[in-house]
């Protein structure tokens, strides 16, 4: 009888692991079963705002590989609309509910991979189930918003949350012609950035016509006479809304694991080693539900990023397939945009560095994305967090026009390799006037930080 691998969760981490394990062992050696409570596998949740905006025309374009492809080409037995409800780590079984039939079934396993992803952290208010209020986490969420745009012809939208999803959805709804108000409890959008960059983002968003309400919590949802959302409430009064989108962040989805006695760490994610194994024999975890190590601070962290989930899934699959893989940790590198403004970060902020017990300082420069004489050069700011007195790079942030954001990858590469700002100054980066000044802004920022 083949070894039994059971995977809970059929998105990035789960299917990456299943596919990698299948490449190493055929179905005669390893039987792979996946249970997924949704209606598809391997979809790009990060693409939902661009689908809503109309930049991606079809829902199908966001699906990397359908369940039938895994079944037919890789002999991975995928069960959609099946939700795991309990894990017995002693008996090595998982109880699963068929959401269509309403029946329960027990699956046995030799190895179990938990890839349950993340769940939204909703605002602590009533009325979030009002029609016209939607999260932006799954393909059905995106479809719900598109249906509302098509059938209700909304004119005013309120986006709750000023992080990555909030900014992307503000842009998407503006592109659809709606008047957009964005609420955020914090005093700046993108709270993972330093305040000076947060202020620049806020100023730019207001220039774009977004009604930005900072330091303003959502306190309620007001339905109209037909039951559809009519407004939201804040301490400053009502804001009319025909559509409300929640972009209030996520946390690891770990209740199933915790109830089974699988340890959950200080980050809120499932405890794993660098092989993606948990402390419970035969149980593994990967993706948004798992915690890992920050390569700069050494802290245990959880990042809900598709890049991390796919890589952790691959490492889990290597080990489950009999090979050897080690996940080396994360930097938290991320990039987004709102209209023409690109926003990126990697490594530690000053606050995070200080929390890690590191003595650090911040420096930043303003520059152009191209040579000053070349057309269409855009303004950008590069901010570096540097350890004192060593000059070791701890983190970097970039805000600017087209061509700014992906420069964060240079800083991520430098961080990954433990470089100091003096090393960064000497990096041999490409130069031509259409792409950068002769001193690329990343190098200029390093020169400023080096003193």
- Dihedral (Cα; 35, 38, 42, 43), 10-degree rounding: -170
Q: Is there a contact between 246 and 232 (Cβ–Cβ < 8 Å)? A: no
CB atoms under 10 Å from CB of 331, counted, come to 23
What is the three-class DSSP state of 192? coil
2 secondary structure, DSSP code: -
Please list the alpha-helical segments (H only) found in 335-391: 350-355
**Rounded Cα–Cα distance for residues 331 and 101 (Å):** 43
Supply φ then ψ for residue 287, to 5 degrees.
95, -155
Strands 283-285 and 211-214, by their bridges, are unpaired
Torsion sign, CA atoms 162, 449, 378, 405: negative
C-alpha 321/C-alpha 29 separation (Å) is 10
CB 212 within 8 A of CB 205: yes
Q: Which two tokens stand for residue 72?
A: 């037919």
46 labelled catalytic = yes
Place of tokens 């309990």: 86
Identify the active-site residue in 24, 46, 214, 356. 46
Nearest CA-CA partner of 298 in 338, 357, 239: 357
Report CA 336 to chain centroid distance, whole Å. Answer: 10
Structure token digits, residue 382? 């590069």
CA atoms within 13 A of residue 167's CA, in its CB half-sphere: 24
Residue 375 CB partners (closer than 8 Å, separation 6+) = none
Q: Which residues are within 8 A (CB) of 105 and not within 5 positions of it... i.e. 6 or more apart?
A: 82, 95, 96, 97, 98
Tokens (6 digits) for 329: 């940790």
Neighbours of 345 (CB within 10 A): 28
Positions annotated as catalytic residues are 46
């Amino acid at each position: 009888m083949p070894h039994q691998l059971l995977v809970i969760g059929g998105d990035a981490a789960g299917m990456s692991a299943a596919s990698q394990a299948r490449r190493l062992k055929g179905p005669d050696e390893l039987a792979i079963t996946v249970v997924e409570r949704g209606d598809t596998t391997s979809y790009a949740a990060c693409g939902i705002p661009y689908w809503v905006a109309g930049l991606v025309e079809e829902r199908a374009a966001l699906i990397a590989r359908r369940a039938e492809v895994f079944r037919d080409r890789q002999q991975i037995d995928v069960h959609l609309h099946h939700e795991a409800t309990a894990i017995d780590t002693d008996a090595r079984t998982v109880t699963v509910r068929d959401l269509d039939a309403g029946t329960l079934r027990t699956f046995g396993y030799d190895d179990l991979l938990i890839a349950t992803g993340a769940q939204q952290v909703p605002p602590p208010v009533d009325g979030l189930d009002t029609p016209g209020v939607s999260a932006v986490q799954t393909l059905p969420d995106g479809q719900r918003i598109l249906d509302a745009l098509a059938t209700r012809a909304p004119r005013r939208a309120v986006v709750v949350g000023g992080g990555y999803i909030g900014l992307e959805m503000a842009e998407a709804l503006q592109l659809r012609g709606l008047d957009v108000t964005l609420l955020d409890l914090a005093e700046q959008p993108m709270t993972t950035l330093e305040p000076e960059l947060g202020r620049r983002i806020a100023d730019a968003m207001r220039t774009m016509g977004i009604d930005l309400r900072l330091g303003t919590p959502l306190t309620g949802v007001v339905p109209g006479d037909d039951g559809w959302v009519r407004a939201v409430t804040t301490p400053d009064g009502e804001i009319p809304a025909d559509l409300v989108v929640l972009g209030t962040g996520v946390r690891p989805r770990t209740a199933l694991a915790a109830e089974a006695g699988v340890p959950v760490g200080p980050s809120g994610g499932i405890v794993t080693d660098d092989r993606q194994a948990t402390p419970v024999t035969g149980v593994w975890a990967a993706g948004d539900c798992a915690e890992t190590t920050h390569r700069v601070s050494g802290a245990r962290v959880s990042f809900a990023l598709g890049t991390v989930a796919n890589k952790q899934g691959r490492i889990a699959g290597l080990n489950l397939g009999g090979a050897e893989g080690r996940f080396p940790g994360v930097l938290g590198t991320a990039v987004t945009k709102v209209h023409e403004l690109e926003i990126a970060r990697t490594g530690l902020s000053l606050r995070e560095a200080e929390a890690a017990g590191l003595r650090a300082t911040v420096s930043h420069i303003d520059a152009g994305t191209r040579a000053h004489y070349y057309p269409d050069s855009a303004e950008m700011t590069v901010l570096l967090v540097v350890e004192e007195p060593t000059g070791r790079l701890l983190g970097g942030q970039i805000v600017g026009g087209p061509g700014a954001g992906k420069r964060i990858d240079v800083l991520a590469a430098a961080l990954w390799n433990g470089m100091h700002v003096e090393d960064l100054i000497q990096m041999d980066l490409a130069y031509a006037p259409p792409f950068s000044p002769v001193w690329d802004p990343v190098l200029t920022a390093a020169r400023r930080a080096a003193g």
